[in-house]
Amino acid sequence: MRKTRIAVALMASMALVVAACGDDEATSSTEAVETTAGSETTAGGTDTTAGSETTAGSGETDYQWTPNPDILAAAEGQVNFVAWAGYAEDGSTDPAYDWVTPFEQITSCEVNVKNGSTSDEMVQLMQSGEYDGVSASGDATQRLMAGDEVVAIDPAEFPSYENIFEGLKMQPWNSQDDQPYGIPHGRGANLLVYNTEAFADGAPDSWSVMFEPGSPADGAVSVYDSPIYIADAALYLMATQPDLGITNPYALDQAQFDAAIALLEEQAALTSQYWALYTDQQASLENGDVLAGTTWQVIVNLAQANGAKIDAVKPVEGATGWSDTWMLSSKAANPNCMKLWMDWIASPWANSQVAVWFGEAPSNAVSCTLDGMAEHCETFHAEDEDYWTDVWYWTTATEECLDGRTDATCVPYTEWVNAWNTLRS
Amino acid sequence: MGERLEHAPLLTEVDLTDGRASEPSRPLRGVNRAFHGRRGLGVVTTLGLPLSWMLFVYVGSLLLLVVSAFYALDPITQKPSSTFTLDNIEAAFNIFDPAVRDTIWVLARTVGVALLVTFCCFLIALPVAFFIAKVAPRWVRRGLMVAMLMPLWAGYLVKGYAWRAMVAPSGGKFAASGKGDGGFLDATFGWTPGYGRVAIVITLVYFWLPYMVLPIYAGLDRMSPSLLDAAGDLGAKPFRTFRSIILPLLMPAIAAGSIFTFSLTLGDYIVPQMVNNGKEKFMFGTLINSTLGAPNQPLAAAYTLWPLLIVVLYLLAMKRAGAFENL
Amino acid sequence: MKLSLPARAALFGFTVLTLLFLYLPLLVVARLSFNPAKSVSWPGWTGYTTDWWKLAWEAEGPREALLNSCKVAFVAMLIAMVLGTLAAMAMARFQFFGKHAVSFLLVLPIALPGIVTGIALQNTFTREFDLGFMSFKVGLGFHSLVIAHATFCVVVAYNNVVARLRRSSPNLLEASADLGAHGTQTFRYITFPLMRSALVAGGILAFALSFDEIVVTTFTAGSGFETLPVWIYANFSRPNNVPLVNVMATFVMIVSIPLAWLAQRLSEGGDG
């Protein structure tokens, strides 16, 4: 009897606690996912404060952005979007890199980010209709546009749009029916990372260390866990088996596709890790479990800051890459805040910050003129279109061959997914 | 509930309840009259709400899931379309197709792990339960059982995370300085199974062991000691008693325990992922989850039919073995 | 039967080893929550810091997740208690056609793998139901989570109450009726007090089950709503947040285990 009373009292007090503390949520929480836990790394390469121009004497950063006043007036107070990890930093990973807090202060739109690890995951998240927007790579954008998950934008509402590099605007992956469907974010290549101590005899410059046995990284290779990686295999075949006739790694007829899958099956013997969460690859690089792999510059930066002896390079065969676009959801609950974010992230200062942090080329031409950005833009070939000729941006493979062939049918992406799942099981 | 002795006025005046009202209030009297003798109404009122909840919310959802497997995925938008197709069912069940066989192989592997985990749990649980029920002195029995069951409530992810910390291997010789030290097992014993299949099996055994201990203990506890004494009097050595008396009598209890160890292992994908190496997708649940995230909901639904079928069949088989009386 | 001393000693030793096996990983996690370094590498038994506990208390993410977990578990528990008790009363009291089917049905949500339940419920909740005169979608969020959790918690409450009802002598109810008590009176003064402690025990277990659940939750919570297990799952592989995860994991242990112990004590008492 007494025990029962104690139990009931316990439950009642729990209820009281729940009710009393319920108000806490009303106070703002900046990130739903990342929490402050001190920071161990100061990554982002050598430029820690690149791109900021201080107004004379005040010590305050000039964010070089004036939000569209009509949209600002209609701002909803919060925005929820899906983004690649590292695209919306709020200072919790590294206090020197924070372009979310200034945005929140200027627009009063509280930012909630959901990190997606692969384009497939992002498409699935957007299909739920619960997000206002997404930073989509080319292999997600087409599915989103076809499925009416995203809407066309009116460039007039986005002051930053006019300074975007012309080569990124109105591309097949970010436009439809002659209408732009989003704001270009930046672009980058998937690089080959390698452990400098393991490769002390000579730094690699070819994807062969990931596909051929016998290299110092044999058995310690790290592969990106997404069907889109099949294009990387196809890319390697472009160089090593030219008689297959592959001209575009996303346009593979059945024979070419089968060859790519066969290559990947052989690669499995060399592989020790298939990564989707960037932190997994980062930890393995630091542990020395992975000695070579396909990576993003941001992972290399973070691992180097923790002492990993690694370096990254774009191999001679070329590389797959991404050209990301910020898109607005057709079911956005907070479209105005999302538009403000899209304009913000494409504005010179913010765009330069994310470009430096993530290790990619910015999309806003003015970013390259900011303090300290000239070197970054050169390293990442922001204005060098030649560099991008052998970078194949992530794109959705369709039955209609993307290389223009009319005499063959190409394998569509749904088949890529099935083949990848079979490979991985 | 017995007869209401309506015509015995004496009784309505007896104060049954320490000064509280002895007659139910007016509305309740009507209720009582309505329910009296009507067993069917009683069943419907009590069972109605929970049963309809379970039928509509749960069984209904399962049926909808089965139905959703029959729709094709629109290749352009990658959302379920309204085209009816048997392709997904074929992709999941057509064992004659070599591509499908790879999927079935993952399923078979997972069923194998589920059976292995069940068996290992049984091997560990039986001696322990026997000790607690038959050998340990009476006053420690409850304490020991409580000690055995408490880890169940430590939290699923907590335990998965704990094993991750236990089996973490030390890094390779190219590890950055300060990184790459191993977890508890490696640091304390110099050996660890590392992340991988062995760690998955050990971790799953760890998780479901209490589910096996509890029914076996209950079964042993119910077993009258005079039964065992009788066997001994008839000349049976302990091992013989065990094999011919105890084990057969325990079968329903073992069946009950195995329901949890088998079914929970079959569908689990989170904990195996936590202690797996980065390389293989070992469990069928992981395959379902990644198919769902592809996104390909209809195909994932088709794949889900497999564990659904297997577990339902297993449940029915265990029901025959008497497991349900022992849950 | 009489077992030899070596046999009994062996069984004792085996039991001790098993208990060690069960508790060692939990101790490791608890130890790590005081570990200054940010990793799962084993630091030995020296070197403590309470920094992470302070940080966890201040950080928004884990605290909000904890509150969400409590809210969902509390409401799910209440629903499960009501439904479970009703079902238990029906099953213990009456004989009717389909009793076995009902007990099978009640066990199903907890016996089927979480991924099956999760995908099925998610499919239902995200589906647009067109009834002709209106269409509705349940949607994902707090409400869908409560529905999902209540569904598999029902059997926990049910088990406890039905076990108690079956254990109690039917003579009590007959005696009460013989003494002239009406149906509702018997319920209020006899049946309910009888099963009260079992009900509370079932409720506590349902609360703990809901608090801890991850698989079905990931499918039915939707994007904005994070319970504590969801938070832990999202953060355990993030190097910066590893210490916080350690703390929250230890916290979950510290809360759940006494709760379960309390439930155990309650369900044993009240034998009548």
Cβ distance B212 to B258 under 8 Å?
yes
Q: Please count the residues of chain C.
A: 272
Of A37, A40, A80, the CB nearest to C223: A80
Asked if C180 and B11 come within 8 Å (Cβ–Cβ), the reply is yes
Shared domain for B138 and B59, answered yes or no, is no
Shared domain for B214 and B261, answered yes or no, is yes
Asked if C18 and B229 come within 8 Å (Cβ–Cβ), the reply is no
Determine the residue among B73, B74, B76, B273 to mutate to test chain A binding: the one whose Cβ has the most chain A Cβ atoms within 10 Å: B76
* Within a domain: A304: no
Shared domain for B273 and B176, answered yes or no, is yes
Q: Please count the residues of chain B.
A: 327
* Within a domain: B10: no
Report the pLDDT averaged over residues C172-188: 77
Tell me, yes or no, if A141 comes closer than 8 A to chain B by beta carbon: no
Please give the pLDDT value at position B141. 87
* 3-state secondary structure (DSSP) of residue B85: coil
Please give the pLDDT value at position A9. 52
| Cα of B270 to nearest chain A Cα, Å | 15
* Within a domain: B312: yes
Shared domain for A114 and A263, answered yes or no, is no
* Within a domain: C9: no
Which residues in chain A touch residue C197, judged by CB atoms under 8 angstroms apart?
3-4, 7
User: How many angstroms separate the first and last alpha carbons of chain A?
Assistant: 55
Shared domain for A262 and A406, answered yes or no, is yes
Asked if B206 and C25 come within 8 Å (Cβ–Cβ), the reply is yes
Closest to C109 (Cα-Cα) out of C213, C189, C10? C213
Which of A355-364, B36-45, B178-187, C230-239 tops mean pLDDT?
A355-364
Chains with ≥3 Cβ pairs under 8 A against C?
A: A, B
Contacts of A5 (CB under 8 A, 6+ apart): none
The pLDDT tens digits for A277-329 are 888 899 889 888 899 999 999 999 989 988 899 999 999 999 999 999 999 99
Contacts of B177 (CB under 8 A, 6+ apart): A307
CA atoms within 13 A on the CB side of A418: 19
Cα–Cα distances in angstroms (integers) from residue C9 to residues A79, B228, C13, C22, in the given order: 64, 20, 6, 20
The pLDDT tens digits for A168-206 are 999 888 988 899 999 999 999 999 999 999 999 999 999
Closest to B314 (Cα-Cα) out of A246, C111, C79, A391? C111
Domain that holds residue C101: 62-268
Shared domain for A106 and A120, answered yes or no, is yes
pTM score = 0.82
Cβ distance B129 to B220 under 8 Å?
yes
Shared domain for A137 and A173, answered yes or no, is yes
Shared domain for B126 and B249, answered yes or no, is yes
Strands (E), chain C: 128-130, 135-137
* CA B177 to the chain's CA centroid: 44
Which residues in chain B touch residue C78, judged by CB atoms under 8 angstroms apart?
none
* 3-state secondary structure (DSSP) of residue B73: strand
Query: Does residue A24 carry a pLDDT above 70?
Result: no
Where is the domain boundary, B45, B65, B85? B65
Cβ distance C59 to C244 under 8 Å?
yes
Report the pLDDT averaged over residues C248-258: 81
Shared domain for B101 and B38, answered yes or no, is no
- The 3-state secondary structure of chain A reads CHHHHHHHHHHHHHHHHHHHHHHHHHCCCCCCCCCCCCCCCCCCCCCCCCCCEECCCCCCEECCCCCCHHHHHCCCCEEEEEEECCCCCECCCCCCCECCHHHHHHHCCEEEEEEECCHHHHHHHHHCCCCCEEEECHHHHHHHHHCCCEECCCHHHCHHHHHECHHHCCCCCCEECCEECCEEEEEEECEEEEECCCCCCCCCCCCHHHHCCCCCCCCCEEEECCHHHHHHHHHHHHHHCHHHCCCCCCCCEHHHHHHHHHHHHHHCCCEEEEECCHHHHHHHHHHCCCCEEEECHHHHHHHHHCCCCEEEECCCCCEEEEEEEEEEECCCCCHHHHHHHHHHHCCHHHHHHHHHHHCCEECEHHHHHCCCHHHHHHHCCCCCHHHHHHEEECCCCCCECCCCCCCCEECCHHHHHHHHHHHHC
* Within a domain: A75: yes
Please give the pLDDT value at position A53. 41
Which residues in chain A touch residue C203, judged by CB atoms under 8 angstroms apart?
11
Domain that holds residue A416: 191-295+395-424
If contacts are CB pairs under 8 Å, which of residues 91-120 in chain B contact chain C? none
Chains with ≥3 Cβ pairs under 8 A against B?
A: A, C
- The 3-state secondary structure of C109-156 reads HHHCCHHHHHHHHHHHHCCEEECCCCEEECCCCHHHHHHHHHHHHHHH
Shared domain for A175 and A206, answered yes or no, is no
Q: Determine the Cα–Cα distance for residues A411 and A372; give it in Å rounded to an integer.
A: 45
Closest to C145 (Cα-Cα) out of C89, C226, C239, C40? C226
Determine the residue among B54, B153, B222, B228 to mutate to test chain C binding: the one whose Cβ has the most chain C Cβ atoms within 10 Å: B153
* Within a domain: C140: yes
* Within a domain: C18: no
Of B1, B210, B267, the CB nearest to C114: B267
If contacts are CB pairs under 8 Å, which of residues 47-76 in chain B contact chain A? 73-76
Q: Determine the Cα–Cα distance for residues A425 and B276; give it in Å rounded to an integer.
A: 13
How many domains does one find in chain B? 2
Report the pLDDT averaged over residues B81-93: 87
* Within a domain: A24: no
* Within a domain: B151: yes
Closest to A83 (Cα-Cα) out of A45, A129, A37, A137? A137
Which residues in chain C touch residue B148, judged by CB atoms under 8 angstroms apart?
18-19, 22
Q: Determine the Cα–Cα distance for residues B143 and B148; give it in Å rounded to an integer.
A: 9
Shared domain for A209 and A174, answered yes or no, is no
* Within a domain: C71: yes
CATH number, domain of B272, equals 1.10.3720.10
Shared domain for A348 and A239, answered yes or no, is no
Asked if A288 and B295 come within 8 Å (Cβ–Cβ), the reply is no
Comparing alpha-carbon positions, the chain A residue that sits nearest to B88 is A418
DSSP-derived secondary structure letter, B170: P
How many domains does one find in chain A? 2
Asked if C182 and B182 come within 8 Å (Cβ–Cβ), the reply is no
- Name residue B111's amino acid: V
DSSP-derived secondary structure letter, B15: -
Shared domain for A271 and A359, answered yes or no, is no
Give the residue with greater pLDDT, C168 vs A121. A121
Tell me, yes or no, if B78 comes closer than 8 A to chain A by beta carbon: yes
- Name residue B269's amino acid: Y
Please give the pLDDT value at position B191. 86
Shared domain for B146 and B287, answered yes or no, is yes
pLDDT band at C232 (very low <50, low <70, confident <90, very high): confident
pLDDT band at A42 (very low <50, low <70, confident <90, very high): very low
Cβ distance A137 to A148 under 8 Å?
no
Q: Determine the Cα–Cα distance for residues B262 and B208; give it in Å rounded to an integer.
A: 9
DSSP-derived secondary structure letter, B169: P
If contacts are CB pairs under 8 Å, which of residues 185-214 in chain C contact chain A? 196-197, 200-201, 203-204, 207
Shared domain for A107 and A255, answered yes or no, is no
Q: Determine the Cα–Cα distance for residues B272 and C271; give it in Å rounded to an integer.
A: 41
Where is the domain boundary, B16, B45, B65? B65
Please give the pLDDT value at position B32. 77
Domain that holds residue B241: 94-326
The pLDDT tens digits for B215-252 are 899 888 888 888 888 888 888 887 888 888 888 888 98
CATH number, domain of A199, equals 3.40.190.10
| Cα of A423 to nearest chain B Cα, Å | 9
Shared domain for A66 and A139, answered yes or no, is yes
Shared domain for B52 and B103, answered yes or no, is no
Please give the pLDDT value at position A218. 92
Which residues in chain A touch residue C201, judged by CB atoms under 8 angstroms apart?
7
| Cα of B59 to nearest chain A Cα, Å | 23
Tell me, yes or no, if B130 comes closer than 8 A to chain C by beta carbon: yes
Tell me, yes or no, if A267 comes closer than 8 A to chain C by beta carbon: no
Closest to A137 (Cα-Cα) out of A122, A159, A157, A156? A122
Minimum mean pLDDT range among A102-106, B241-245, C232-236: C232-236
Which residues in chain C touch residue A29, judged by CB atoms under 8 angstroms apart?
60-61, 64
* Within a domain: C74: yes
Percent of chain B with pLDDT over 70: 91
Report the pLDDT averaged over residues B142-146: 85
Please give the pLDDT value at position A48. 37
No. of helices (H) and no. of strands (E), chain B = 16, 2
Which residues in chain B touch residue C84, judged by CB atoms under 8 angstroms apart?
50
How many A×B Cβ pairs under 8 Å?
108
Asked if A29 and C38 come within 8 Å (Cβ–Cβ), the reply is no
Shared domain for A355 and A212, answered yes or no, is no
Please give the pLDDT value at position A8. 55
Which ipTM did the prediction report?
0.85
Give the residue with greater pLDDT, A115 vs B37. A115
* Within a domain: C38: no
Asked if B157 and C108 come within 8 Å (Cβ–Cβ), the reply is no
The pLDDT tens digits for C38-73 are 666 777 776 777 877 887 777 777 888 889 999 999
* Within a domain: B19: no
Shared domain for B60 and B98, answered yes or no, is no
Shared domain for B46 and B103, answered yes or no, is no
Shared domain for B163 and B222, answered yes or no, is yes
Query: Does residue A210 carry a pLDDT above 90?
Result: yes
Shared domain for A58 and A154, answered yes or no, is yes
CATH number, domain of C136, equals 1.10.3720.10
The pLDDT tens digits for B281-294 are 889 998 898 888 88
| Residue indicated by tokens 């097949």 | A172
Percent of chain B with pLDDT over 90: 27
How many domains does one find in chain C? 1
Please give the pLDDT value at position B23. 66
